Structure 1
Amino acid sequence: MEVLIIEANADVAFFDRSFIILFIYTGASPVNEIQIKISLVASLYSEFPHAVLAAEVPFSYGTRRADIVMLSGNEATGFEIKSEGDKVSRLDYQLESYKDFFDFCYVVCVAKNISSVRKTVPSSFGIVMVQNGEVSFVRRSKHYKRLNKEALASVLSSDTLRKLTGRSDLRSKHELCKQASEVCTLRNLYEHSRTQLFERYAPSMELLKGDVNSVFSPDDIQTITRSAPTELVLRS
């Protein structure tokens, strides 16, 4: 695939089936989170055209949000972004919840903070670097298989949890998840969690595919940021 680099100071990244046009951010301001998201999503969209991509995905009872998530088959990959201005001192704590829920876990950083990220991130986590609009996988993530059953259950709807547990008397989401983690197998909760994530975000991904032509913009990131309504309409 041919790559064409163009200097610019804009939050966009071009994509085409035969080539990618990546903008180099030449402005004096540091590369921010939205620029990193655009570059990452454009790269993943090119490399994994059949995957579902989502942004700001809540998990662990909604107390944590993954900056970017890629759903491919039954596997979910979580990406935590650390831009130039972000502190990495609490990164190890933030990542604990990732390995309880995702099959693969990555920290996405820039050249200026990759050294501190390397020192902080566990060796089992992958590292992705975005530099001048280009995305490179510095280190591949371990495949996490011993996931946390309660964490998987926490993204399921209450109706699904009641069906899985047979406890229609329980009203608290926390109680339902606790019960599900006790009576359901890891495989069962894993498959249900991945299925519901796919159903929640696949419509938004289809909207993105129909809307994006050759350029990714902040609007496209917004498209995949929230789970879609029942009916979707393409932007004119």
Structure 2
Amino acid sequence: MERAPTHGAQINVKPEIRAKLRLIDHLIATQRLAEGDLLISEFRLPNKKRRVDLALFTTSRAIAFEIKTEGDNLSRLSEQVKDLSTHFDKVIVFCAHKHYNNAKKLVSKSIEIWSYNDKKTKLLQRGRSNIKNTKAIIELLPKYERHTIKNRNDALNKIRKKFRKNIELFWKIRSQKKNCDLKDLISISRTPPKDQTKKTSDDLWTSIIEDQSSQSSSESISDNSSS
């Protein structure tokens, strides 16, 4: 049986962040997320105020996750998944178990539903993939980046290239520990730096890696001293 990760000492982080870390751990544990795949937290949809709680881009698919914690209400869920379904090949609602019955009433059978509690994550409604056409995927990119795109694979590759540093940093941090923590979430929340801020953004990425490496070294020294 799958055990819920503790995420170290981060017992007081906000519920939505804990849920997001829990989801990322589940994706990796169930091999739905492979090294090199792109995860982006709070991915903004073009021409809309809507953001995707967690977006997953593989070499061939775009998947959106809508997260609902115990403290959330579902009043906008139908509208949210409708917007996501316009651009993503698959939409998955990741909700606290108490919301399952209501969520099932609010979304179509094409939407997948996973529920979670303190002990495990369960698939409760198996949705369907609806592979989007080139136009739907291209529209995930800013208008000024669309003119060179010829097909949906080009669009997916463009998105992955745009967030290449996020991919590299996320998987570098993941290789150093078992469960996700806030550093992982920071690494996939950072937007690609613009030219004038590139040095600052790169410094932030570097500091996260160095801090994590320093922590790992300290733990190793401590273990050797106690042996």
Unaligned 5+ residue runs, structure 2? 212-227
TM-score normalised according to structure 2 size = 0.73
Structure 2 counterpart of 1:214: 178
Structure 1 counterpart of 2:140: 155
Structure 2 counterpart of 1:110: 96
Q: Give aligned pairs, total.
A: 195
Aligned counterparts, 1:6-85, within 5 A: 12=7, 32-46=15-29, 47=31, 48-50=33-35, 51-85=37-71
Unaligned 5+ residue runs, structure 1? 15-22, 165-187
Do structure 1's residue 132 and structure 2's residue 118 form an aligned pair? Answer: yes
Code of the residue aligned with 1:152 in structure 2: it is: I
Cα distance in 1 for residues equivalent to 2:82 and 2:133: 11
Conservation of the 8 A alpha-carbon contact between 1:99 and 1:147: no
User: Higher helix fraction: Structure 1 or Structure 2?
Assistant: 2
Cα distance in 1 for residues equivalent to 2:134 and 2:74: 25
- Structure 1 residues 5 and 62: CA distance shift in structure 2, 3 A: closer
- Structure 1 residues 79 and 161: CA distance shift in structure 2, 3 A: same
Structure 1 counterpart of 2:153: 191
Cα distance in 2 for residues equivalent to 1:219 and 1:117: 30
- Structure 1 residues 4 and 97: CA distance shift in structure 2, 3 A: closer
Cα distance in 1 for residues equivalent to 2:3 and 2:77: 34
TM-score normalised according to structure 1 size = 0.71
Structure 2 counterpart of 1:171: none
Structure 2 counterpart of 1:225: 189
Do structure 1's residue 119 and structure 2's residue 105 form an aligned pair? Answer: yes
**Deviation per residue, 1:163-217 (Å, 9 max, x gap):** 46xxxxxxxxxxxxxxxxxxxxxxx342233122211233212212212312311
- Structure 1 residues 155 and 235: CA distance shift in structure 2, 3 A: farther
Conservation of the 8 A alpha-carbon contact between 1:61 and 1:155: no
